[in-house]
Amino acid sequence: MKKIIDYVRLTRPLNLLFIVVIQFLMARAVLFPLLKGFSIEEQLLPTPILILIVLATVLTAAGGYVINDYFDIKIDRINRPEKVIITTSIDKSGAMRFYQILTFVGTALGLLGAFLLRNTTLALLFVIVPGLLWFYSASYKRQFLIGNLAVAFCAALVPLTIIFAQNAFFELKYASLIYETPILKICYGWIGGFALFAFLVTLLREIIKDLQDEYGDREMECRTLPIKLGTKRAKAVIYTLLVVIVALLSYFVFYKIKFEGSSLTERYFVFGIVLPLIFVAYLTYNAKTANDYKTIGNLTKFVMLIGTLYSLVFLFLKMATLG
């Protein structure tokens, strides 16, 4: 039983649950009210295909977590020895087989979803991403910024995969006629906003994580941002990212997102995202130990969750305008 639990732990089940939540919210809390506004909510991506896409994404991500731990054994023995599972509870060959099964099934389900939707873009996505996750774990994460950008890109693909699938479903139903309407432009705009938020916050969290893991990374001759530029400059990059995130969100919240007679979006933005990010800046300024950076990383996860849950606020406000 313990070994089964350890296999599950390798896949980061809470992170996988978050992926499920994101993708279902994008489909049912963002796309649904948008399509209802055009009176075509019945053309929402069917639930069986949505479940197929979500399962494919989750299994691919799970495989990525396993192979990441596989390649990080030596670093993890330095940074977090109490959390090392591979070689202590699960042998390396067992972990590799587990990775191969997860990735194969995830890719197969993704290709099946792409086949049902007759979409090559979606098929390529479920072929390229597993390769990207492999190279990230084997090499990219030890290089300057490349690994950070790769993880942030994969985070952005989580919500984008849903709009890619919805786009493919529209093409099945309406062919090229769908491109003569503003429907896809609006849908891509909203989902793209969530994807950009996921990209920037994940990039922020990855740099914070590099600061947390600096000692072990340095021992293994990695070239992460804190090692190449130093702690002070790495913190300066974090402050810059925080300013960019707040500035972009301020632009969209105060100038682009309009729900007449409601200030809920603005209040949600200020109290749910801006104030926690200010606290992130404060904690980063005072951070000195790995535990300090771990706390900051957890706070950025909270910000990511709050940002994603704005989809429920959007659902409420959009449905209210539709009566």
Residue 217 has pLDDT above 90, yes or no: no
Q: Which of 236 and 84 is assigned the larger pLDDT? A: 236
- Tell me which of 47-56, 71-80, 301-310 is least confident: 71-80
152 has pLDDT over 90: yes
Q: So what's the pLDDT on residue 59?
A: 98
Quick one: pLDDT at residue 167?
96
pLDDT at 83: 81
Contact 293, 287 (CB under 8 A): yes
Tell me the average pLDDT across 176-201.
Answer: 95
Report pLDDT digits (tens) over 278-292: 999 999 999 999 999
pLDDT at 219: 78
Residue 301 has pLDDT above 90, yes or no: yes
Neighbour-count burial for 160-185, b at 16+ CB within 10 Å, e otherwise: bbbbbbbbbbbbeeeeeebeeeebee
**Of 82-86, 274-278, 292-296, where does mean pLDDT reach its minimum?**
82-86
CB atoms closer than 10 angstroms to residue 226: 23
Whether pLDDT at 3 is above 90: no
At 144 the pLDDT is 86
What is the per-residue pLDDT for 274?
Answer: 96
pLDDT for residue 247 is more than 90: yes
189, 314 contact by CB (below 8 A): no
Looking at per-residue confidence, does 97 or 87 come out higher? 97
Q: How confident is the model at residue 296 (pLDDT cuts 50, 70, 90)?
A: very high
* Predicted local distance difference test score (pLDDT) of residue 181: 92
Q: Which amino acid is at 304?
A: M
| Mean pLDDT lowest among 175-179, 188-192, 264-268 | 175-179
Give pLDDT tens digits for 17-34.
Answer: 999 999 999 999 999 999
Query: Which two tokens mark 240?
Result: 């810059």
Q: Has this prediction a pTM greater than 0.75?
A: yes
pLDDT at 143 over 90: no
Q: Is the pLDDT of residue 220 over 80?
A: no
Q: How confident is the model at residue 114 (pLDDT cuts 50, 70, 90)?
A: very high
For the chain, how are helix, strand and coil distributed in percent, rounded to 5?
85, 0, 15
**Residue 18 buriedness (CB in 10 A; 0-12 / 13-18 / 19+):** middle
- pLDDT score for 58: 98
Q: What percent of the chain has pLDDT over 70?
A: 99
Rounded-to-integer distance, Cα 164 and Cα 285, Å:
40
- Alpha-helical regions (H) of 80-145: 92-117, 120-138
Residue 56 has pLDDT above 90, yes or no: yes
- Average pLDDT, rounded, for the chain: 93
Neighbours of 137 (CB within 10 A): 22
DSSP letter for each residue of 188-245? HHHHHHHHHHHHHHHHHHHHHHHHHTHHHHHHTT---HHHHH-HHHHHHHHHHHHHHH
State whether residue 90 is helix, strand or coil: strand
Residue 67 has a pLDDT of 95
| Region 300-322 average pLDDT | 95
- The closest alpha carbon to 95, from 75, 67, 74, belongs to 67
Burial class (CB in 10 A: 0-12, 13-18, 19+), 203: buried
Q: Give Cα separations from 70 to 143, 201, 261, 314 (angstroms).
A: 18, 25, 53, 40
Question: Between these two residues, 209 and 74, which has the higher pLDDT value?
Answer: 209
Cα separation, 271 vs 285, in Å, equals 21
